[in-house]
Amino acid sequence: MMIEAPFHAELAEGPAGARAFWISSTDNLRLRVAHYPGPADATGTVLMFPGRTEYAEKYGRVAADLADLGFHTLAIDWRGQGLADRMLEDRRAGHVNLFRDYQHDVAAMLAAADRLDLPRPLYMIAHSMGAGIGLRALIEGLPVAAAGFTGPMWGIRLAAALRPAAWALGWSSARFGLGHMYAPSTGPASYVATALFDGNLLTRDRDGWAYMQRQVNEIPELQLGGPSMRWLHEALGECLALARLPAPQVPAVTFVGSNERIVDVPRIASRMAAWPGGALETIRDGEHEVLMEDAVTRGRILSRMASVFEEARTDAGRQSMIA
C-alpha cells in the first residue's frame, strides 16, 4: 500500500503533476519516493538515486529535462535523510547501520515503480553516495537497461596520511558504541544552508546554488549535517569492497567535474576504464554536483545519458528479435 506523502512542488520546479508517496522497506523503515511524470509516449522511467544529504525535490529540474527527453522519473529519499525515517535521535546526523541496508531501500523503490505501473524499460541516474548504492545494486542484478553516474562515490577523497586514521576511528567508534558521533570536522549544520557560494564544493552556478539553498531553508526538515562515524566507516568499507568487484554488464556513462574535491577521481577513472562499454566524461570547471551546474551543462549531460539509454533500448529490442 502506498500512502500520499508531502511534496513541495513549487520548490522542486519539476514537471506538473508530480506526487510523493510513503513506502516501507523490508526492515520497516518509512521512506519517500516522488514520481515526476513524463510524456504519454514515454520511452521508459529513470530511477533517480540521490547522494548523501539529498532528497526528491532536489531533482525536480533534472526530472523536467528528463520529461522533455521522454522519460518518467522516480526519485527516493534514502533512509536517514530527506523526509524518510532518520536513524538517530539527532536527526541531523547522517547515519546508517550497514551500508548494505540501502539495498532494502532500492528494493522498496522497485516495488513502488511496479505499483505505479511506470513505463519500461527502467534506467538509473545516480549521484555520489547514490552511485555507490547504485553500483552495488547493478552488480546484484538491478533490472535497468543502462545507467548514468555523476560524481560517483566509489572512493572518498582523503589524504593518504588520513586514511589509516579514518579506518581506526571508525573501528574504535563501532567497538565502543560511539558510531553515532559526527565524523571529525563535521557537525549538525547543513552545508548548503550555511556555506557561502564563493568557494563552495558543489556548483559554480549561482542559480543552482540558490535553488538548493531555497529548498533546505524553506523546508528545514530536509536538512542533514555531517556523517556519523558509523556511516564513514561503512562507506569506506563499501568503497573498498566495490573496487574489488568486476563492472556489471550494463551500459553506463559517468560524468565528473574537473574541479571535483569530494570523491576519489582516480578510482572513478579506474572503474570506468575497466567497464565494458562504459564512458567517462569530464565537465570543464565542474564541481561535485554537475547536475546542479547551469542549465546548458545539465541539459548536455542528460542528453548524453538519454542517448546511452536509447542505444541500450534499441540493442535490447534488436537482441529480442534475433532470439
Instruction: Report residue 175 as a C-alpha cell.
Output: 567497538
pLDDT of residue 168: 57
pLDDT of residue 175: 59
Beta strands in the chain, from DSSP E residues, in sequence order: 3-5, 19-24, 30-36, 45-49, 72-77, 122-127, 147-150, 252-257, 279-283
**Looking at residue 69, which CATH number applies to its domain?**
3.40.50.1820
What's the pTM?
0.95
Cβ(99)–Cβ(238) under 8 Å?
Answer: yes
- Count of C-beta atoms within a 10 Å radius of residue 115: 13
pLDDT of residue 177: 64
Q: Rounded to a whole number, what is the distance in angstroms from the first to the last CA of the chain? A: 37
Report in angstroms the alpha-carbon separations of 157 from 204, 259, 293: 20, 12, 21
Where in the sequence is the domain holding 37, given as residue range(s)?
A: 3-322
Task: Going residue by residue through the chain, which has 323 residues, state the pLDDT in tens, using 9 for 90 and above.
Answer: 789 999 999 999 999 999 999 999 999 999 999 999 999 999 999 999 999 999 999 999 999 999 999 999 999 999 999 999 999 999 999 999 999 999 999 999 999 999 999 999 999 999 999 999 999 999 999 999 999 999 999 999 875 544 555 555 555 555 556 678 898 889 999 999 999 999 999 999 999 999 999 999 999 999 999 999 999 989 999 999 999 999 999 999 999 999 999 999 999 999 999 999 899 999 999 999 999 999 999 999 999 999 999 999 987 666 555 55
Q: What share of the chain is helix, strand, coil (3-state, %, to 5)?
A: 40, 15, 40
> For the chain, how many structural domains are there in total?
1
